[in-house]
């Protein structure tokens, strides 16, 4: 079971329309990715909450179809940053 | 998750100040992410219990429900879920983990 990079990106953007999503395929096997998600929705949230929000946006695929996602989350403060 | 699994999990995090649910053992980690976290804890000279989820499928799935976190490893300190590999690595790199250990009176390398 694997996932395509575009599928991950669109799932995340469905939940975080304002997000900047940078994804890299780490192993070329559709199973190991790294992603940095920057969104204003993270403002005021703990790291655990931020990561859970991203995992929830992946609709149960994290840990299943998607084996490994090295995740970084960043708070976007206002439209300019 | 049935009560017996929940009791097993709570028993581990209650009896072990620093408790890492991982794949493999601290001596022989069987997953890159679990290895990263064990290496971080070892480098900080933190005493911790490694719970090998590969040895008990009910804990492997139960801990994900218990923490509402979909992946392994998972680090608990004084019964509190601190994070998975990404968060522990980030906390280690920015010094937050050492501060967290200090705040929680967990002995570690100064």
Q: What is the pLDDT of residues B15-26, one digit of tens each?
A: 999 999 999 999
* Mean pLDDT computed over every residue of chain A: 91
Write the pLDDT tens digit of every residue in B72-102. Answer: 999 999 999 999 999 999 999 999 999 999 9
**Using a CB cutoff of 8 Å and minimum separation of 24, what contacts does A10-18 make?**
A11/A57, A11/A58, A11/A59, A11/A61, A12/A37, A12/A54, A12/A57, A12/A58, A14/A57, A15/A53, A15/A54, A15/A56, A15/A57, A16/A41, A16/A53, A16/A54, A16/A57, A18/A76
More confident residue, A77 or B18: B18
> Strands B18-22, B49-52: parallel, antiparallel or unpaired by DSSP?
parallel
In this prediction, residue A78 has a pLDDT band, given cuts at 50, 70 and 90, of: low
Asked whether the predicted pLDDT for residue A80 surpasses 70, the reply is no
pLDDT value at residue A31: 85
Write the pLDDT tens digit of every residue in A32-70. Answer: 899 999 999 999 999 999 999 999 999 999 988 888 899
Q: Which domains does chain A have, with CATH numbers?
A: 5-75 (3.30.300.90)
Between positions 23 and 52 of A, the ones with CB within 8 A of B are: 47-48, 51-52
State whether residue A59 sits within 8 Å of chain B by CB. no
* Cβ atoms of residues B5 and B62 within 8 Å: yes
Spell out which residues of chain B touch residue A62, defining contact as CB-CB under 8 Å.
Answer: 70-71
């Amino acid at each position: 079971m694997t996932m395509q990079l575009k599928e991950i990106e669109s799932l995340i953007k469905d939940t975080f329309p304002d997000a900047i999503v940078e994804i890299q395929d780490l192993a070329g096997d559709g199973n190991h990715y790294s992603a940095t998600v920057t969104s204003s929705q993270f403002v005021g949230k703990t790291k655990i909450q931020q990561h859970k929000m991203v995992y929830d946006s992946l609709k149960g695929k994290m840990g299943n179809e998607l084996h490994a996602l090295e995740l970084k989350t960043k708070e976007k403060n206002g439209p300019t940053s | 998750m049935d009560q017996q699994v929940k009791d097993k999990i709570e028993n581990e995090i209650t009896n072990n100040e620093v408790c890492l649910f991982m794949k493999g053992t601290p001596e022989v980690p069987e997953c890159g992410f679990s290895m990263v976290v064990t290496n971080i804890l070892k480098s900080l000279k933190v005493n911790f219990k490694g719970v090998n989820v590969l040895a008990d499928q009910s804990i492997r799935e139960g801990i994900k429900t218990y923490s509402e976190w979909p992946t392994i490893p998972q680090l608990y300190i004084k019964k509190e879920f601190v994070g998975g590999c990404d968060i522990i690595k980030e906390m280690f790199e920015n010094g937050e983990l050492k501060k967290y250990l200090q705040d929680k009176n967990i002995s570690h390398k100064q």
